[in-house]
């Protein structure tokens, strides 16, 4: 309920529109639960066709722009 697992973190990198802007916490899930950005991993995230990546290739030009 509090600690981020790899399964939770993969949602943050998903290209699925249901997962956009979800699971921002890098170590604690509690912040996502407080700010209503938490997505519980389930059978759709365990599927072999689960895709991760960046949709907008020009979004992060460098770490300075972050």
pTM of the model: 0.66
Q: What is the pLDDT of residue 52?
A: 80
In whole angstroms, what is the distance from residue 60 CA to residue 66 CA? 7
- Tens digit of each residue's pLDDT (9 = 90 or more) over 8-66: 888 888 888 888 888 888 788 888 899 999 988 887 777 777 788 777 666 666 667 66
Long-range contacts of 50-59, Cβ-Cβ distance < 8 Å, separation of 24 or more = 50/10, 50/14, 50/16, 51/14, 51/15, 51/16, 52/10, 52/13, 52/14, 52/15, 53/13, 53/15, 55/15
Task: Report the pLDDT value the prediction gives residue 65, as an integer from 0 to 100.
Answer: 62
């Amino acid at each position: 309920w509090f600690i981020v697992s790899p399964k939770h973190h993969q949602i943050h990198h998903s290209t699925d529109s249901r997962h956009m802007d979800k699971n921002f916490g890098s170590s604690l899930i509690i912040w996502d639960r407080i700010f209503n950005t938490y997505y519980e991993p389930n059978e759709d995230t365990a599927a072999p066709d689960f895709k991760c990546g960046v949709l907008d290739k020009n979004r992060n030009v460098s770490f300075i722009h972050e």
